[in-house]
Amino acid sequence: DTEVTQTPKHLVMGMTNKKSLKCEQHMGHRAMYWYKQKAKKPPELMFVYSYEKLSINESVPSRFSPECPNSSLLNLHLHALQPEDSALYLCASSPGLAGVAGELFFGEGSRLTVL
């Protein structure tokens, strides 16, 4: 099973709302990622978790707050977002840190619209 599951598939929120995106994998992977993708652009890395510890934060604004409750789950908490944050948010996982430690698998994404 090479599946990364993301919920919800679509999310519409106002600028004062608090919401969360969720991601789950059962492949035993020890690295998990959040990416942001705008239309017609490649994914941009936001956060990397390795063995449940945050290893990379690509200078992401604090209105995005990641959480890794256990090795299978990854959350992205959203608060006071701006309309320009509207994008496709992709979760991914890999056996170790992607690249030297294995293949990267993506979920289907959560389409976020901020009004």
Partner 1 sequence: KQEVTQIPAALSVPEGENLVLNCSFTDSAIYNLQWFRQDPGKGLTSLLLIQSSQREQTSGRLNASLDKSSGRSTLYIAASQPGDSATYLCADGSSNTGKLIFGQGTTLQVKP
- For residue 28, the minimal CB distance to partner 1 (Å) is 17
- Binding of residue 105 to partner 1 (CB under 8 A): yes
| Spatial CA neighbour of 2 closest among 108, 111, 89 | 108
**E-assigned strand segments in 3-109:** 4-7, 10-13, 18-25, 31-37, 44-50, 53-57, 64-70, 73-79, 87-94, 105-106
Binding mask 9-48 for partner 1 (x = CB under 8 A): ----------------------x-x-------xxx-x--x
Q: In angstroms, rounded to a whole number, what is the distance separating the alpha carbons of residues 69 and 52?
A: 7
- For residue 2, the minimal CB distance to partner 1 (Å) is 8
**Residue 75 burial (C-beta neighbours within 10 Å; 0-12, 13-18, 19+):** middle
- For residue 100, the minimal CB distance to partner 1 (Å) is 5
Question: What one-letter code names the amino acid at 68?
Answer: C
- For residue 16, the minimal CB distance to partner 1 (Å) is 27
Note the residues at the interface with partner 1 (CB under 8 A).
2, 4, 6, 31, 33, 41-43, 45, 48, 50, 55-56, 88, 90, 92, 94, 97-101, 103-109, 111
